[in-house]
Structure 1
Amino acid sequence: MASRADRHKGIPVPPVAMAAAVVLQRLAPKGRRARRLRRVVAVALAAGSGTLLLSTLGAFARNGTTADPTAPGNASVLVTGGSNGLSRNPMYLAVAGLLVAHAVERGSLPAWLPVGGFVLVMDRFQIAREEEALRNRFGEEYLQYCARTPRWLDRRSVDFTKRR
């Protein structure tokens, strides 16, 4: 029987999921006109999420490893520091943050549905596939990383007393 990694090999889940989420958000009805506070919150979320995304991509580049979501088994280095010390998936977390920012700006309940859809698709399909590939590639080192770093965010993300 084919593994989850094999069943979805080569399917560019992240860009497809991101594009679908953005299109669905754009199709969602807009709420009331954005008030200043809602706009400020949306801009702050987008700026933070964009910074997280760029810093993570920079860390992958500095470490000389791939950020290609269709070939996680090609990773040459397990990046565990910086934003990857807060979450095992900071790039997907950043994209989810950008979708949250857009939902806040749109100001309607239906604009939030694609956020949940994106997280669900990434969690069940893409991340599971990447974890299998990284476990096969890095073995015990990856298992230890998983034990100390959450898949998305949790209390370990902000517990700086346990950082190495």
Structure 2
Amino acid sequence: MSKHEGIPVPPVAMAAAVATQRLTRKGQKARRVRRAAAAALAAGSASMLLATLVAFLRRGTTLDPTAPANASVLVTGGSNGISRNPMYVGLAGMLLAHAVSRGSWRALLPVGGFVLVMDRFQIASEEQALRIRFGDEYLRYCASTPRWLDRRSLNVIKWR
């Protein structure tokens, strides 16, 4: 059991990060390249979030971050083959897109804060529950798929 049981850490951490970003000064006026980079990051991140939500709904498993032990199936394909936490990667990507659009180095700090909070609190407790629920299947998944993103993530993406 975690200390934050019942508290939806992802939306609270996301709201805190966005609010902190909004408090930072904007950088230079957005140029076309920066706007395009922010839009591409936001689109990719939103796509990852949506694909993961759809996969969870199709498989009939829980989306509730406060109850990972209620998972009925371990989703390992699609975006979950790129990262064990594609929803959180998507949220972090949205924060990164917002920081890029603001053009402020200080707006990057909440991105790191979000990742740290999610990694140490939410993901750690989810992983504990999933290890108990799925055993060796989950351990094999952990061995082959990164928690966030790394070079193994590229092995899943099929370049055509």
Q: TM-score, normalised by structure 2?
A: 0.96
Aligned partner of 2:147 among 141, 147, 151: 151
Aligned residue for 1:7, secondary structure, equals: coil
Separation of aligned partners in 2, 1:6 and 1:69? 12
Q: CA RMSD in A?
A: 1.1
Secondary structure, aligned partner of 2:2: helix
Q: Output the CA distance in 1 between the equivalents of 2:29 and 2:3.
A: 44
Amino acid at match of 2:76: T
Q: Quick one: which of 7, 12, 17 aligns to 1:11?
A: 7
Of 25, 34, 45, 1:49 maps to 45
**Structure 1, residues 89-124: CA drift from partner, whole Å, max 9, x if none?**
000000000000000000011100000000000000
What does 1:21-100 correspond to in 2, within 5 Å?
A: 21-100=17-96
Partners in 1 of 2:87 and 2:21 — Cα distance?
Answer: 20
Report the residue type matching 2:141 in the other structure: Y
Say if 1:53 and 1:91, in contact at 8 Å, map to a contact too.
yes
CA contact (8 A) 1:93 1:152 kept: yes
Contact 2:81 2:156 in 1 (8 A): no
Shift of 1:17: 0.1
CA distance, structure 2, for counterparts of residue 129 and residue 83 of structure 1: 21
Task: Please give the secondary structure, in 1, of the residue aligned with 2:75.
Answer: coil
Distance 1:12 1:90 in 2: 17
Percent of aligned positions with the same letter in both sequences?
Answer: 73
Among 102, 109, 116, the residue aligned to 1:106: 102
Structure 2: 5+ residue runs without aligned partners?
Answer: none
User: Secondary structure of 1:6's partner?
Assistant: coil
Partner amino acid for 2:9?
A: V
- The number of residue pairs the alignment matches comes to 157
Q: How many angstroms does 1:59 deviate by?
A: 0.2
Deviation for aligned residue 1:137: 0.5
Provide the C-alpha distance between the structure 2 equivalents of 1:17 and 1:108, rounded to a whole number of angstroms: 20
Distance in 1 between residues matched to 2:86 and 2:108, nearest whole Å = 20
1:159 shift after superposition = 1.9
SS in 2 for 1:30: coil
- Structure 1 outlier segments of 4+, above 4 Å: none
1:40 counterpart letter in structure 2:
A
